[in-house]
Amino acid sequence: MGLIACHISKNYYIIVVFSFFYDIYSREWFFSNLNFIIKKTNSVLQQLPSSISTRLHYQHKSLIELIDGLSDTQVRQHSNTGQWNILENIVHITLFQNVIAERLQQILTTAEPQLSRYVVEADPAFHEKCRSTTSEIIKELLGARKSLTLFVERIPNEQLSLSGSHPEYGEMTIVQWLNFFLLYEAKLLFEIFKLASKVKMTQNLSMAE
């Protein structure tokens, strides 16, 4: 048995184990089928990581637990520090999902696009949707997430390495853009967790008096 490592691209290697006895037939078979081996191996290597797929399916659902028991008034309650309230953070997540879907579509249809930074406060839809009820915006968030997940799952494996450039983080592949989105969403969910905890603590203190 022999072990050969073949450099495929700047990031990928394949290890091909095969029997060889330095006869002409074995060498000819290997090199004549090398392109097929590379193509099949890249297809496997570029699958969507399970860590991203799992978060894409389930991470946002923690929101329901975070705001459980809070009224619409409490969700809209602002702190003394002037930070966003819970509803504004939920709207941000909802809109950012749509932005990511648009960015991925651009990457799939344009060669290495330069993508601008999304500023949610400058989005007219942000102020409009902040007038929605909590149940309305959560329903929209869940629907948008389902659409995003289905869209991502339909992207062929060989296209997951396509990239677009972020003004701050540079060139990122589709997989990296998804990871960026999910990490940012987790940050917003943590903000919601902190805000909801303060509201619940205030509520408990009021009930104890």
Check residues 68 and 206 and name the one with the higher pLDDT: 68
Look up the CATH superfamily of 49-208: dinb family like domain (1.20.120.450)
The amino acid at 111? A
Q: What is the pLDDT of residues 7-30, one digit of tens each?
A: 444 344 343 433 443 444 455 654
Band (35; pLDDT cuts 50, 70, 90): low
Where are the CATH 1.20.120.450 domain residues in the chain?
49-208
Q: Which residues does residue 170 pair with via DSSP β-bridges, in sequence order?
A: 166
Mean pLDDT estimate for the chain: 82
Q: What is the pLDDT of residues 119-153, one digit of tens each?
A: 999 999 999 999 999 999 999 999 999 999 999 99
pTM, two decimals, is 0.76
